[in-house]
Amino acid sequence: MTKDLYKLLKQLEPNRKTDLVFTTKSGTQIKERKALSICKAVAGKAKISSNAFLHKFRHTYATILVQRGERLEDIKKLLGHSSITETEIYAHHKPDQLHDKVTHLDNLIDLDKKGQS
């Protein structure tokens, strides 16, 4: 979570006595099962028909980072992956960038001379 987002969320409840952002009504940490049930309830209200899982937020975050051109090594660190291989599953989300890489080969071929021969 970015520092700015954390500050914004903390402003929603300035008298909060915990550093936790998402808590139960009594101020304790939300357990994973409760967070999942909240996620599924929100998805239901939004009429999202696919399975709603908390891990999808993590996947979406990584995908957005890849699409914005962040390095896989940096994404690996942010996600806490132990191996770059785990992070490489997100690399397919930026195929359009590959077209730019291929055009670098155009400089190797002089198309004008090739057309004259």
Amino acid, single-letter form, for residue 26: S
Distance from chain centroid for Cα 48: 19
Name the band, by pLDDT with cuts 50, 70 and 90, for residue 98. low
pLDDT tens column, 14-48: 777 787 877 888 888 999 899 899 889 988 998 88
**What tokens were used for 4?**
């700015």
User: Domains of the chain: which residue ranges?
Assistant: 31-105
Give the mean model confidence (pLDDT) for residues 97-111: 61
Name the band, by pLDDT with cuts 50, 70 and 90, for residue 80. very high
pLDDT of residue 26: 82
Alpha carbon distances (Å) from 30 to 15, 22, 69 = 19, 7, 33
The model's pTM is 0.59
Give the mean model confidence (pLDDT) for residues 72-98: 83
